[in-house]
Chains A and B, each alone.
Chain A
Amino acid sequence: MTDELISRERFSALVEEAGLKLTAEQFDELRQGYRFVQRMQRIVRRPRDRAAEPAHIFVHPRAEVR
């Protein structure tokens, strides 16, 4: 399940902003691949409680370790 293909104009702006120098073939291929980025963004961008912190660290207290 993937999202709509981004327009050439919009994708061109993203590439320029990223500072990438792409061949025509790379541009077309990455534009196709961008649909997967859109899906990932859609999956992770959801309403959350403000207290829901990121998993920037794993804590395994010794008592819980067998």
Chain B
Amino acid sequence: MDPTQLTIAESIRAIAAGSLSPVALTEAYLDRIAALDGELHSYVLVLRDQALKSAQTPARGVLHGIPIGLKDIYKTRGIRTTAGSRRYLDHIPDEDAETWVRLRNAGAILLGKNETHEFAIGGPDFTLPFAPARNPWNTAHYPAGSSSGSAVAVAAGLCAGAMGSDTGGSIRGPAAYCGIVGLKPTYGRVSRRGVFPLSYTLDHCGPLTRTVEDCAIMMQALAGYDPQDPASADVPVPDYRAALATRLDGLTVGVIRQFHERDAVADFGADSAPSVAYTAAFDAACRTLESLGARLVDIKLSPLVDYLDANRLIMLAEAYALHEKDFRERPQDFGHHMFARLALGAFLTAADYVEAMRQRRELAVEFARAIEGCDAVVSANSTGPAPRIDAIPTYSTFERASYTGPYNLTGSPALSVPIGFEDGLPLAFQMVGKPFDEAGVMRVGHAFEQATDFHRQRPAVAASLPGRG
């Protein structure tokens, strides 16, 4: 048996039963990384010796012996953390990200640091010291970003789960293009301490996994109050796995169609039109939710551009404030995309930022009222298959419709789940919930997943190595 074919839930059971050892599991993942990552570029640092040593420690928690990856903006004490930038190429932090501390205390094993867009915004950029990660379904294509390496590693079977960060969709976009599950929790639910910031009021940390159940397991270790994260919320953490169900009887699920069916083209032009296959997959996914017992209701909101451009303006202003000094004094230290995108923040005024934050409150209130009678809502994710990696415009972040940013603006929990394929590349939608109801969105996501087989389809590169099947 190849243990890397197991989900986190299955690996935990096998380790508890004594049929699988953490060392064997870790070795199997390390062998796959050595064999396959030369083409995928999902890791910028592999910690072979350290991982094998960690795999020999006694059981500590729910993630005992589970090998994971961390996006290379998560600080790791004594281990190089570059943020994907020349600026921090030799940076050895003297602290761990709080999330990594929690995962390690739960028994997780760190395989290495995953490739990231520079400071979680500048990519895919071929001028950086590390090659951009490639989509495991077709390496000529883009895996999305900025948590590219984390998503690619999970999808290709180069780790059991990984951590990403999400300011406008950087967990959910890569999850969609790579055909896996990605959760952006509620703002304040998971600590951001020790993670390089992009935008203080929009940044979220969260897991990428193969299944919703695995996501629930990782969230159990991750969620909870951190008094040293200024935005952390002291809100009780439920039993996420216990909340998973296979039926949705009695639940009301809102459906946000206007963003992709009307606003995308109206606000951003014909290039943002959803593909025919995507629209069909989204509609079929909604019918599946209905067949599971959910009552679907249509949700009306302000235009997508109102949400997106408030999100983008706030991100630009906050990120530019972080990097202004370096942009003025050492612009040569940054990759092309990072500089070209974030330098636009130099041209915003304080009044622009305040107006965007005023709009943010209006939209957060609107969204809360619109979904008041719902247990969860579904919303489009990337509305077509992954484009080629060499066809991503510098200003792709700003010029096209995106469906993830609105929920960074509102701080809502949002989960990306696969819903089909187009041209052999994955498609996905999002389940969005009320504040701190990650359990609710995972319940809907899990039920959908159990009724479909999209999550069971994996890229060819995820198959067992010769002799390991």
A and B found bound together: yes
A residues apposed to B, CB below 8 Å:
1-2, 14-15, 18-21, 26, 29-30, 32-34, 36-37, 39-41, 43-46, 48, 52-56, 58, 60, 62, 64-66
Determine if A21 and B328 form an interchain contact, defined as CB atoms under 8 angstroms apart.
yes
CA A48 to CA B365, docked complex, whole Å? 15
Which of B331, B357, B395 is in CB contact (< 8 Å) with A56?
A: B357
Determine if A66 and B440 form an interchain contact, defined as CB atoms under 8 angstroms apart.
yes
B88 interface residue (CB < 8 Å to A): no
Determine if B340 and A58 form an interchain contact, defined as CB atoms under 8 angstroms apart.
no
Query: Looking across the interface, which residue of chain B has its beta carbon closest to that of A58?
Result: B411
CA A45 to CA B349, docked complex, whole Å? 12
B29 → chain A closest CB, angstroms: 36
B398 interface residue (CB < 8 Å to A): yes
Query: Looking across the interface, which residue of chain A has its beta carbon closest to that of B235?
Result: A65
Known: A1-B268, A48-B362. 12 other contacts (CB 8 A): A15-B346, A20-B331, A30-B340, A33-B344, A37-B347, A39-B309, A40-B309, A46-B359, A54-B358, A55-B360, A62-B235, A64-B435
- What residues of chain B lie closer than 8 Å to A33, measured between beta carbons? 340-341, 344, 394-395, 398
Interface size classification for chain B: 35 or more
B191 → chain A closest CB, angstroms: 16
B361 interface residue (CB < 8 Å to A): yes
Which of B188, B305, B357, B399 is in CB contact (< 8 Å) with A55?
A: B357
A65 → chain B closest CB, angstroms: 5
CA A3 to CA B437, docked complex, whole Å? 39
Given contacts A37-B348, A52-B358, A55-B361, contact A65 B398 (CB under 8 A): no
B residues apposed to A, CB below 8 Å:
187-188, 201, 233, 235-236, 267-269, 305-306, 309-310, 312-313, 316, 327-328, 331, 339-341, 343-344, 346-348, 351-352, 354-362, 364, 394-395, 398-399, 411, 434-437, 440
Determine if A34 and B359 form an interchain contact, defined as CB atoms under 8 angstroms apart.
no
Determine if A43 and B358 form an interchain contact, defined as CB atoms under 8 angstroms apart.
no
Determine if B343 and A20 form an interchain contact, defined as CB atoms under 8 angstroms apart.
yes
Query: Looking across the interface, which residue of chain A has its beta carbon closest to that of B375?
Result: A66
Determine if A43 and B309 form an interchain contact, defined as CB atoms under 8 angstroms apart.
yes
Determine if A14 and B347 form an interchain contact, defined as CB atoms under 8 angstroms apart.
yes
Determine if B346 and A20 form an interchain contact, defined as CB atoms under 8 angstroms apart.
yes
Given contacts A44-B352, A66-B434, contact A26 B360 (CB under 8 A): no
B122 → chain A closest CB, angstroms: 13
Determine if A66 and B437 form an interchain contact, defined as CB atoms under 8 angstroms apart.
yes
